[in-house]
């Protein structure tokens, strides 16, 4: 029963890996529309990031200026995020380019504030890993938006496609490899072990 469950699990993993790889190949050949989808997703991330920072300020020992800076960053992230969710599917090309640069500027400001706050709070008791992660993510996306404002969606789409293809192939190879090892183990001849009990010298004299 256990072998049957393992076989079904490995077959399911192989099929899943194949579907993931096919999805990655499909995404590699998608282009224009994904840029708008990406910006909308980025808007959702900004809204959640701003809300998380806004409600999590109480966990940090902040001074008055630091608290104001984080408050401004949080509200700005939420507002720009909402705009990024709504605007991409109802805007002209010129407004679209402006929106991308506004997003880049907001992310750059957000990254600067997050990293500065993390440096100021690193000696405190609270963990600053979330601020550092948020700052680095914002910085990387901001640089990409300024460097490749029109191509960023396609670039990230191809990157996601490559990751999905590699993951799918990895899952398929892993399932085939495990199935092969399981078959070899089940077909291996059983090894009989015999043990012989040997009396220790002097054991007879002790009994007498």
As a whole number of angstroms, the distance between CA 171 and CA 21 comes to: 9
Q: What pLDDT is attached to residue 204?
A: 54
Other beta carbons less than 10 A from residue 43's beta carbon: 23
CA nearest to 168, candidates 56, 23, 26, 11: 23
Q: What pLDDT is attached to residue 28?
A: 72
Q: Average of pLDDT values for 161-174?
A: 82
Residue 193 pLDDT > 70: no
Residue 38 pLDDT > 60: yes
Residue 207 pLDDT > 60: no
Tokens of 137: 């993510």
Residue 174 pLDDT > 60: yes
As a whole number of angstroms, the distance between CA 89 and CA 67 comes to: 35
**Average model confidence (pLDDT) across the chain:** 72
Contact by Cβ (8 Å): 89, 32: no
Q: What pLDDT is attached to residue 61?
A: 59
pLDDT band per the 50, 70, 90 thresholds, residue 199? low
The 10 Å CB-count burial string (b at 16+, else e) for 77-111 is bbebbebbbebbeeeeeeebeebbeebbebbbbbb
Q: Average of pLDDT values for 95-99?
A: 67
Q: What is the pTM of this model?
A: 0.48
Q: What pLDDT is attached to residue 7?
A: 66
In this predicted model, which residue has the larger pLDDT, 163 or 198?
163
């Amino acid at each position: 029963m256990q072998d049957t469950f393992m076989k079904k699990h490995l077959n399911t993993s192989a099929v899943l890996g194949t579907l993931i790889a096919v999805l990655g190949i499909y995404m590699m050949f998608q282009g224009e529309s994904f840029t708008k989808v990406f910006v909308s997703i980025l808007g959702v991330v900004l809204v959640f990031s701003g809300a998380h920072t806004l409600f999590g300020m109480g966990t940090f020992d902040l001074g008055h200026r630091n608290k104001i800076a984080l408050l401004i960053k949080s509200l700005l992230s939420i507002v720009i995020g909402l705009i990024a969710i709504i605007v991409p599917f109802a805007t002209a090309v010129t407004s679209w380019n402006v929106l991308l640069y506004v997003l880049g500027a907001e992310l750059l400001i957000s990254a600067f504030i997050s990293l500065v706050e993390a440096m100021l709070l690193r000696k405190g008791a609270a963990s600053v890993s979330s601020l550092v992660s948020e700052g680095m993510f914002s910085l990387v996306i901001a640089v990409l938006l300024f460097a490749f404002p029109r191509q960023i969606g396609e670039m990230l789409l191809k990157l996601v496609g490559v990751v999905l293809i590699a993951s799918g192939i990895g899952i398929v190879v892993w399932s085939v490899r495990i199935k092969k090892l399981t078959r070899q183990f089940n077909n291996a001849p059983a090894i009989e072990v015999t043990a012989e009990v040997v009396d220790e010298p002097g054991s007879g004299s002790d009994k007498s």
